[in-house]
Structures are given as C-alpha cells and as structure tokens.
Structure 1
C-alpha cells in the first residue's frame, strides 16, 4: 500500500459507519466518526470472482459470496442482546467472523467449508463426533442420506445440506483454548454460532423449505437451548415448525405412499417432526409461560412412534413390515426404543402443560394428580432397563423427570388460599408435591453420581441437554424446599450436582441464574 499521504480516497463508507448507519467522511487513516468514538476504522473492498459452476446451470450467472469482516465491536450492534452468547474467556477480544452476503447459492458449500476450516478441526472428525454422541438423543438425520448428500458426484453439495453440515459442527465443536489464544484465524463458539445463524437465515429466506433446512433450524434451536437461552430457542423452534408445516413433514399419511430411498426420506422427516415436538415442549418448561400457544400440534394417540437410530442409520426400510407399528398411546409395551419413549414422554409433558392452565383449582389439581400417577408409572418402565443399555433412554428419562418437576413446581407456586379439592386443602397438596420432588431430586442425584464417573476426560459427553435442566431443577428444589427439621440429602449433594454441571460446561455452556 502507498504511504498515508498518497492513499486513494475510499469509494465506500468504512465498515463501522456502514453497520451503524452513520455518515462517513471517508477520512484516512480513520474517519471522523471512528476517531470520535475511539473505534477501529476499516475500509473493505468488495471483489467479485467467478464461482463454481454446476453442470446444470449457466456459469455466466454465478457470482461469489461477498464478505464483510466483523469484529467484536460491530457484533454488538448486529446481534440482539438476548441472543448473544458469552465468548469464552480464552477467546481474543476481536474475533474475526465472515458474514456472507449471497447473490446466488452455488457457493454456499465453499463458504461452509471455509468457516469449518477456521475452527481448526476436520469435517470428518466433527460429523463422526456428532453421530457417535448427540445423534443418539435426537436421531433426526439419516446418516446414509446425509453422507450421500455430501459426496454425490457431478455437483457440489446443495445449499441446504451445507447449512445442515454447519449446524452439526456447531453442536459438537469444542474450541481449543490454546489455538484461540494464539491463532487469530481460529473462531470461537460465538462466532461460529453467529455465522451459522446468519447463513441459515439467508438460505432460508430464498429456498423452499426442505428436510435438511428444517433439521438445521432444529439443531440451531437446540444449541441455543443448551446454552441457557430457552426464550431464544423457543422463537427459533417456532420458525422451524412453520417450515415443517410448509413442507408437510407432519403428514403421517405419506407412510403408505413410498418405498426404498423415498421411504427412508419419509421416516427421516417423521423423526424430524417428532424432534420439533419434543424440543418445543422441553423449551417451554424453562420459559415458564404455559399459556402461550405452541407452534406444533401433538400427533394423535394412534400415530405410529418414530423409528429408532439404528434403523434410521441403516436405512433398511424397504417395506412397511420392517417398521413396528406401535402407536404413541401404548405406554406399557416394553419393546419401545429410546426415541419412541422420548416421544411418549413429550405427550405426557404436553398433558401437564395443558393441565396447568386450567383456571379452576378444584378441577386442575385432581387432573394433575392423575397425570402424576401416570408419569411415575411410565418412569418406572424406563428405569426398568438394564443400566448397560439405558443410554438411549437419556432423553426420555430427562423429559419425564422434567414433567414431574414442572407439575409439582407449579403446585408449589400456587398462592395460598382456602380450597378443598378431593377433600384436601391446598397445604396438603403442597406437602405431597414436596415429597414427590424430594424423590425426583434423590433420583437425579443417583443418576449424576453414576454418570459423573463415566464422563470422558476430553470434554466431550453423551448427555442430552434436557438432562442439564433437570439437574438445575434439582438444585433449585434444594434451595427452595422448606426446612422442617428433615433434609433428605447429604450436605455434599448440592456440591456434587454443581460439580457435574461444571464438567459439562465445555460441551454445553449453560448459563446459571
């Protein structure tokens, strides 16, 4: 570059003025606004190059992605305060993020590859980690179809498949503190999250809803929920549900219409729909506003349960006979897998959420009592599995226990008043709820002790993020439980729960109240 005195005057406003919509005098080396606000002043030139041309498209219409280089200062203006993740303390203050602005989507896969490369990890390692761990809790993606979409010959991966790959990597990405502290090109989780959210929004606004795009939106919502922002996750999942309805993936009538690969696509769509249903109900428990309408309608009781991870990955769905036809309402059947149990648990939680908004206490409390008995019986069925094969039931167990905490926590929050429901006073109902939550907290303590000893030392874990909120609910019950001379747990119980959560911070950065 020439000396400062011979610089050519910029033709565009600096990046700071552009993002903050301020008038820029285009001064060098810094404009007057940046000097006044003591901000870094950058002028970014936008270049155009010929992009990758697919065989089915005229290459003359292709343009590449235009990027704006964003620093931590400009991110504060672009991201709403409630949707900004706290950057890890080891991340440099000015983390660079590529914010793509598309004119066409033929080069989305190249941008995704660039973003993933900036994490310092390999795509194969990240996807293997996803299908080894998180995929077991939310089996919505057919591994066979996903790999086929990325390795198809003759054309680059589609835009929606590329976005799905990016959100998969976001779920399992574990930043290396050493790389973050010394490598300016390595991005942190905040930057990766914002890049994924921006890319998803741009592609979503221009493409028809597709299964990969819906799955990417669901994974993004799950990430927000796992990072302690259920309100943001609930907004994201509502948009995901609208896309799902537009794509009609909730329509179970399609099961009898397709075979082979098409049938595998249908089953993948069905599991994705169940993933949205389960996730939305889990998210709303943390938001606490049970009167707001949900974006998804619960499938009917005679709807067939979703298929399990093993069948989805193998893709052996050539006929209807290969898939067991077990309806959602059959709670007592013992041959149901983990994801099917999670679907059933979400149906029970849905009944709890609907029961909590009944205004008449003399009607509400007996209904909740009946639901409590059903949930506890269902919980006993889940716990009857051998501990060696209990891992696939982690999400079902977490949703079921969360339903108990939601149900009895709502009873304890009822303002004191004189009532007689089933010939019992409100004080008696609350004593029963305290006893139920004592039992649930003891059970969570036992699960945490077992799981803590099995967590790998590299920071990865196979824990459903819903389970994190169950542990938090247990800690809250310990804090708020009235003390009447009896305390069901040892003095170390709360510390053990907190230590467990601290161990999970590397994977799920859940914030604490």
Structure 2
C-alpha cells in the first residue's frame, strides 16, 4: 500500500492531525491521511474549525477494524456489533504509566528511554465539576487553608506551609487532580460534621444537612475522589490520605481509620518513603521536600500506633523507627521553608529543651509503639525495660507540665497511662484478693500523680476548657477517658477526684462539637458507671 506523503499529496491540511498531536509526533499533514497514521493503521482526523463555520475541513473516512486496532472509536462505542476475534494490535508509542514501570521493571527508568506520558505523576483523571463546586472559589480555598495551618498544623505539621502557599493556591494548579484532592481533604478535616453535611448537601452530593454523623456527604465525596486519583502517584495524594485518616480517627469512624492508615503506609512505601535504598523513587532535590517526606512518614507512624491503643495486638502497618532515623527539623524554620542539615537530630540524640514540639510527639509515638508491643506480647515486660520506659515518660511529662499552659495533648501522657492500664483494676479489689503487685502499686501512684497535675492545671488554671476546641488533637481524649475511667472504678472517690471527673466530662462535651470521638468516650464512661453500679 502506498502511503501518502508531503510530496505525493495534492493538498495539505492546515495543521497536524489529532493522532500525531496527541503523541507529540511530526505530521506531514497529507490528505486524506498522513503517512504516520497510514503506516500504523491509526485513525487520522484533521478536525479543524474555521472562523466562518464549525464543520471539519477534512476528516478521514470511518476506519475499519483492522485500521483502528484493538480499541473502538468513541463514536462507535454505543453501536459496536459483535465481530470475529482478531489479533490485538498495540498502537505504537502508547504511554506506559510511571507507577507500572516502577513496579514491573524500575531499571528501565535509570536510562530515561521510556516514554511514560505527560501525566505520569499527576494522572489523567479530570477534576469533576462536583469536586470543584465543593472546593468553592479561591477565597474559600484560602480560608480553608488558613484554618488548617492555624489549628491542625500546629500539632500535626506534615505539610510544608511555604510550598503549599507558593505552589498549590495558584488557580491554575486546581485543575491537577492531586492538588484538588488535597484541597478537598483539607476542607474535610477542618469542617465540623454538621457544617460538612450542610456543605455536601448543598453541592448535591447527598442528604443529611445539619446531621452530626461524621460520615457526611463531604466525607464520602473525598473518599470516592481519593480512589479515583490514587494512581496519580503523588505525595499530595498521600498527604490527603493522612488527612482522611486523621478525620476518621478524630470522629471515631472504625474500622475505616485502621484500613486508611494501612493504605497510607503502603502508598508511602510505593513512593519510596522510608524504605530500602534499593527501592527506586522519584528524585528529591531540595531539603524542604526531603523534610516533607520525612514528616508525612512520622505522621503515619503516630497514627498507626495510636489507632490500636485501645486494643493492643494488631500488627503495625509501619516498621518501628530506628535509633538512627532522623527526627523532624525545627517547626518554625520549616514553616519558613528553610531546613539546615546541621540542625537535624536522630532518635539516639539526647532530648533537649529546644527540640520542636513535633519532634517530641514523634519520640512519644515511638515509645507508644514499644508499650503496645509489650502489652500485646505473651511475655511480661522485663523490669529494666518497664522502669526505663517509666523514667523516659516521666522526664518528658515534667518538661511539658512545668509551664503556664501545660500541653496535655502529648502522646507521652497517653503512653504513660497505656503502660499502667493492665495494672489499674477493672473493679474494686475484694477483701480476700491477693496483695497488689509492685506494678499495681506503682500504677496507683502514677494515677494519683496524674490526678494531682490535672487538678492543678485543668481545674484551677482552666487549661482544657479555656482552649479553642479546634486546637485540641484527639490524643488527649483517650488519655482523659482512661484517667476518668480509673477514677470512677476507684474504691474510694476523693473530692479532688470527683472534681477532675466533672471537669473531664465537661471537656468531652465541649470537644464533641469538634471531634465526635469525645461524645463516644462519654457514652463509654456511662457504660462503665452502669456496670459498676450493677455489679
């Protein structure tokens, strides 16, 4: 078959055909078919609209099945008749996406000879109009971002504030599906359940306006869009996944949060974050990006430990941090977009007073993992390990409490309570019960110390009820629940303990407007009291 060429054609099309343009290949513009499409059996359309009319200047005749290859044209999708099976013909130059190569044969990427297509990192999924409607205008997007960085970012800073404002608040970037997903997740995690339900209903995503059920239309819309965009293979998708898991954790959406955290860990592994150097990943060329990847990994580690605190024994989705792993850099410097290698420290470095709040949170998260590991083990915690954990946690708490506004949100509080939970009696001991063990006595001492500190700081200084609920992370709620439950089950209830219980209950009711899990803890406390009175 003679292929048309520039020399043999009587006239030329005014522009390249659609097939060559989409593949970014040179087109000789021959009519009725360019030489490239004729040679490879492709559809060749010169769909050009003039200013005078909107009809095609030239279009190739409807291709046969042999010319079209194995894929149907859009026009024939609904009318295709059953045909005899044919040998599929792979179109030349068909892009192979980056994640597929990364898993099937990553060595090909070292030589840069594989065409991975223009959407290798951001995906080809367009942003649906419903998502754009949920995001709102630029002013609403900026307001959502400001709210996130003013509140949640203060205790979970895993998104670079400078990079976010410099790169992702530009209107042109909102067409990228991974950026739109991150913005949608920010709106989800900063929304109160009732407000999120109203926003979702107004967008047509569902019903239930004014409901306090955290499974709002906005929640379902974000989860659904995440599934569509996850193939983008972008750290923004991972950060959105962490925000979704954080929302589920704060509102007590189980087992969804447990599964979401596992998905985040897998996604981070796929991106090459905190895995062996033999696993290829995208090259990161700035220290701020390196720090952002480190911080998102630590965020996953913390959530992975905390989600199992009520029932130790489930395996972690992330490996235990090693002593040579780097902690996050200074929070203030990172927010300004500056990270200096000389300021980094590892887990083996001695704790100092100038360490960032997030670094202390990461250290406490690692200790929580150790405690949960021992609590789930059939082997009792060795005395030396138990005493070392106790001393480390006590030193971390001393620094956190001896300030004007004590920070009861540190997981160190939670870890200390978790360490002694097995030795806090579920019910008052009977007269003929054996004498308490050393760890049981120590557990009561620790509980009394915590009660004294809570009384001094929460009751007298109003450090809990005087705070904006949006500034309070969910970790402290578990701590308060365990302490309150232990005081309820105590054989004798002192006036100080009764005041602490009243204050914590009031705190649960206040925070329930922000994190629904606070209301769930209130119901569990009521159940404990019912069991105690009925015993």
- Correspondent of 1:140 among 139, 151, 158: 158
Task: Flag the 1:211–1:177 CA change in 2: closer, same or farther, 3 A.
Answer: closer
Q: Distance in 1 between matches of 2:250 and 2:173?
A: 35
Distance 1:438 1:155, change over 3 A: closer
Alignment of 1:205-216 (within 5 A): 206-208=231-233, 210-216=234-240
Determine if the alignment matches structure 1 residue 238 to structure 2 residue 274.
no
Tell me: CA distance 1:410–1:427, structure 2 relative to 1, closer, same or farther (3 Å). Answer: same
Which residue number in structure 2 is paired with residue 168 of structure 1?
Answer: 186
Bigger Rg, which one: 2
- TM superposition shift of 1:123: 1.8
CA distance in 2, matches of 1:367, 1:136: 32
Preserved contact between residue 448 and residue 500 of structure 1 (Cα < 8 Å): no
Change (3 A) 1:271 1:253: farther
Aligned to 1:105: 125
What is the match of residue 489 of structure 2?
480
Match of 1:315 in 2: 337
User: 2:300 aligned to 276, 283, 307, which one?
Assistant: 276
Distance in 2 between residues matched to 1:463 and 1:198, nearest whole Å:
28
Residue pairs, 1:121-200, within 5 angstroms: 122-152=140-170, 156-174=174-192, 180=198, 189=214, 190-200=216-226
Residue 449 of structure 2: aligned partner: 439
Name the counterpart of 2:378.
Answer: 359
Cα deviations by residue, 1:96-154 (Å, 9 ceiling, x for unpaired): xxxxxxx951224x432212349xx9222221111001001110001222233324575
Distance 1:231 1:107, change over 3 A: closer
TM-score by length of 2: 0.64
User: Does the 8 Å CA contact 1:401/1:470 hold for their aligned counterparts?
Assistant: yes
Alpha-carbon contact 1:379-1:400 (below 8 Å) kept:
yes
1:37 maps to: none
Which residue matches 1:383?
401
Aligned to 1:306: 328
| Partner SS state of residue 286, structure 2 | helix
Once the two structures are superposed, residues 308-335 of structure 1 have per-residue CA deviations (whole angstroms, 9 ceiling, x without a partner) of 3322221123x524xx122213343221
What's the C-alpha RMSD, in Å, of the aligned pairs?
A: 3.8
Residue 49 of structure 1 is matched in structure 2 by none
1:230 CA drift (Å): 5.2
Q: Would you say the 8 A contact 1:142–1:313 is kept in 2?
A: yes
Residues 432-470 of structure 1: CA deviation (Å, up to 9, x unaligned): 2122123224434444343345334xxx52111111221
2:113 match: none
* d(CA) in 1 for partners of 2:292, 2:218: 26
What is the number of residues matched between the two proteins? Answer: 389
Q: Name the SS of the counterpart of 1:500 in structure 2.
A: helix
Q: Alpha carbons of 1:261 and 1:316: their partners in 2 closer, same or farther (altered >3 Å)? A: farther
> Secondary structure of 1:369's partner?
helix
8 Å CA contact 1:221–1:236 kept in 2: the answer is yes
CA displacement, residues 313-372 of structure 1 (integer Å, 9 cap, x when unaligned) = 21123x524xx12221334322111001001111211221222234244x5455323321
Matched residues in 1 for 2:376 and 2:512: separation? 34
Q: Look up the match of 2:229.
A: 203
Native 8 Å contact 1:304 1:328 kept in 2: yes
Which secondary structure does the structure 2 equivalent of 1:284 belong to?
coil
Does the CA-based 8 Å contact 2:284-2:290 persist in structure 1? no
RCO higher in 1 or 2 (8 Å CA, sep ≥ 6)? Answer: 1
The whole-number CA distance in structure 1 between the counterparts of 2:289 and 2:447 is 41
Provide the C-alpha distance between the structure 2 equivalents of 1:57 and 1:112, rounded to a whole number of angstroms: 29
Asked if 2 retains the 8 angstrom alpha-carbon contact of 1:358 and 1:364, the reply is no
Structure 1 stretches lacking a partner, 5+ long: 1-54, 64-102, 417-423
The answer to whether 1:429 aligns with 2:436 is no
- Partners of 1:479 and 1:117 lie apart in 2 by 47
Aligned to 1:79: none
Residue pair 1:394, 1:463 contacting (<8 A) in 2 also? no
What is the rounded CA distance, in whole Å, between the counterparts of 2:457 and 2:253 in structure 1? 25
- Render the CA deviation track for 1:269-324: whole Å, top value 9, x for unaligned: 100001111111111102x1x2221111122112221123322221123x524xx1
Contact 2:451 2:500 in 1 (8 A): no
Tell me if 1:448 matches 2:458: yes
Contact 2:245–2:261, Cα closer than 8 Å, also in 1: yes
Separation (CA, whole Å) in 2 of partners of 1:406 and 1:351: 11
Gaps of 5+ in 2: 1-20, 25-46, 48-71, 75-122, 429-433, 525-535
